[in-house]
Structure 1
Amino acid sequence: MSTKSLEASAPGVKHAAPDRTAGAAPSERPGARGVIAHIVVILAACVFVTPLVWAFFSALKPNHEIFSIPPTLIASEVRWHNFLDVFHYGPFLTYIRNSFLIAIAGTALVLFVSATAGYAFGRLRWRGRDLVFVLFLGTLMVPQEVLVVPMYQLMQWLGWVNTPQSLVLPFAFTAFGTFLMRQFFRGIPYELEEAARVDGAGPIRTFVTIVLPLSKSALAVLTVFTFISFWNSYLWPLIVVTDYESLGTLPIGLATFAGQFGTRWDLQMAATVISMIPTTLIVIALQKHLVKGIATAGLGGR
């Protein structure tokens, strides 16, 4: 006779029914929390997307209907040719080309400087490293507006006023990028470096062949932030550039739609929508590494 039949035939033994409600509540709670989280995320996305949608439909309106009362999302006339009129209003292609060249060159230089400096601060051991790093981070507390005058004087002394290098080099040595890469590098296990050192690899070879390939997510985060920063820079190009026709950037080009006799809001909205396309494509292309990098960069370390 089996054990189950003996337990069933045993007198005086009460068999408790299986408690199905005990496991039901925990399984329902995560589901409810998930629904609430999705609702909150959708509402937040709607809040952030609404200005972009309004800007896009404003770019399709006639200029006199931009501030119509009551406001309307879709105008009486949809003008797709506003996106073409932008390029006839001024040297908009020149502005886009200059912004691309400056943003790509600046991003590449920042990635190189931040990766090498972050490796020196995070993985190499040398005297005074922590003190120098604290002083380096102190530059983050200085606003850009305070540095405009000394940077402009330095550009004058070097003879770089109204040159492309004046738009790139002053912002190549950023403490933010170095800090980001340092924190990520400190989260990489030291055993990997020790194994490479046993195989005869020096610091440079270890950095190129081991550390950098493991840092794609952090580099993606820094790439997106740096590219957007160069792409949207307005104050410094406005000061250091004098020939806007040949060296003007996209933010300066957007300001040209506001003239002495009025503002072409329709063309400015169309130009704004066009200017958002490159940064949006970069975020979409690096989305996988971007999410991973934001989740991990700066959280590790020893």
Structure 2
Amino acid sequence: MTETQVLVTGGTLRKLGGPAPAPRVRAGRTVGRITGYIALIIAAIGLLAPFAWMVMSSLKNANEVFSVPVVWVPETFVWQNYVDIWTKSNMLVWIRNTLFLAVSVTFLQVLTGSFAAYGFARMRFAGRDILFLAYIGTIAVPWQSYMIPQFILLSNLKVSNTLWAIILLQAFGAFGVFLMKQYYETIPEELSEAARLDGLSEYGIWRRIMLPLSIPAIASLTLLTFVNTWNDYLGPLIYLRNPDLWTIQLGLKSFVSNLFDTNYALLFAGLTISVLPIAIIFLLGQKYFVEGIATSGMKG
């Protein structure tokens, strides 16, 4: 008799000596799995309910928005709200400014973050680890603690009340450097060494080897930066005083300046429009986002 025997029963293979899971164990696993699914469904409903209410409210008339009891589905869908929000506001200007800021800041953060991360991950120089820790430590410092000196500095540079103020504020980010460095360290260093032997410069290694292999991390950083910049309210509120420079958040805020004559149906229509680009980007990039976040904390 051999150490491991295989029993053929009904066309299936079963290893002898390995006890099958007990019925109680299988039943417990099934119950646990079903309970987990139910909990996830409840959490998903809780997260999506405010979004669904916002979308439905954008299709109501002004008197139905805050009716008691809550009316989830309007009796008549008022599609005119989406036409009115475009004709009664500078929605196109707000979206243009917000898109310009989001694209510019995202591009600069990915560029500077990936380039600096390569230096921390692959270059050897004195004080590298201390400098990296000091740089990453800035994440723990709240922006509110130094936004006044920062405002004075940018005002002295004559860029206050311009879109360049927001771009200069957010062009560099410690989180992007940390994310890209952690991902770079999962890439075998033998690839860089082989490229150096072939005469490739450090810049060429970063551009031709590291960046193409870091698509998930770049996608994650792009998604996070774009969403944060698109949704930023405090920065534009401080630096952008000209209505022609307002972002979509500042523009929509002007709709609630007076609570007694605000058409909240129009406001929710504008909010729905502002959320759509973020939702589309998340749907298109969720695969790379999950992969980049999951692998950035691993070392090869």
Q: Tell me if both proteins adopt one fold, taking TM over 0.5 as the criterion.
A: yes
**Per the alignment, in what secondary structure is the counterpart of residue 214 of structure 2?**
helix
Q: Please name the residue that 1:59 is paired with.
A: 58
Letter in 2 for 1:295: A
Q: Please name the residue that 2:123 is paired with.
A: 124
2:20 to 11, 19, 22: 22
Q: Deviations over 1:280-302 (max 9, x none)?
A: 1111111221121121112326x
1:22 CA drift (Å): 2.1
1:202 CA drift (Å): 2.1
1:223 CA drift (Å): 0.6
Q: Please name the residue that 1:253 is paired with.
A: 251
Off by >6 Å, runs of 4+ in structure 1: 18-21
Structure 1, unaligned stretches of length 5 or more?
1-17
Q: Please name the residue that 1:176 is paired with.
A: 175
Q: Please name the residue that 1:288 is paired with.
A: 287
Distance 1:183 1:20, change over 3 A: closer
Q: Deviations over 1:141-187 (max 9, x none)?
A: 22122222112111111110111211111111111111111111112
1:63 CA drift (Å): 1.4
Computing the radius of gyration over CA atoms, which structure comes out larger, 1 or 2? 1
**Per the alignment, in what secondary structure is the counterpart of residue 64 of structure 1?**
coil
Q: Please name the residue that 1:95 is paired with.
A: 94
CA RMSD of aligned residues (A): 2.0
Distance 1:221 1:19, change over 3 A: same
- 2: CA distance, partners of 1:31 / 1:259: 53
- 1: CA distance, partners of 2:229 / 2:124: 33
- 1: CA distance, partners of 2:17 / 2:114: 57
Q: Tell whether the 8 Å contact from 1:148 to 1:236 is kept in structure 2 after alignment.
A: no
Q: Please name the residue that 1:263 is paired with.
A: 262
Distance 1:21 1:136, change over 3 A: closer
Q: Deviations over 1:205-225 (max 9, x none)?
A: 111111111110011110111
> Which is further off, 35-44 or 154-163?
35-44
Normalising by structure 1, we get a TM-score of 0.88
**Per the alignment, in what secondary structure is the counterpart of residue 188 of structure 1?**
coil
Q: Please name the residue that 1:43 is paired with.
A: 42
- 2: CA distance, partners of 1:248 / 1:111: 24
Q: Please name the residue that 2:68 is paired with.
A: 69
1:198 CA drift (Å): 2.1
- 1: CA distance, partners of 2:192 / 2:35: 45
1:278 paired to 2:289? no
1:202 paired to 2:201? yes
**Per the alignment, in what secondary structure is the counterpart of residue 286 of structure 1?**
helix
Letter in 1 for 2:252: L
- 1: CA distance, partners of 2:298 / 2:47: 27
Corresponding residue pairs, total? 283
Letter in 2 for 1:187: T
The percent of aligned pairs where both chains have the same amino acid is 36
- 2: CA distance, partners of 1:178 / 1:256: 36
Q: Please name the residue that 1:189 is paired with.
A: 188
1:241 CA drift (Å): 1.0
Distance 1:85 1:199, change over 3 A: same
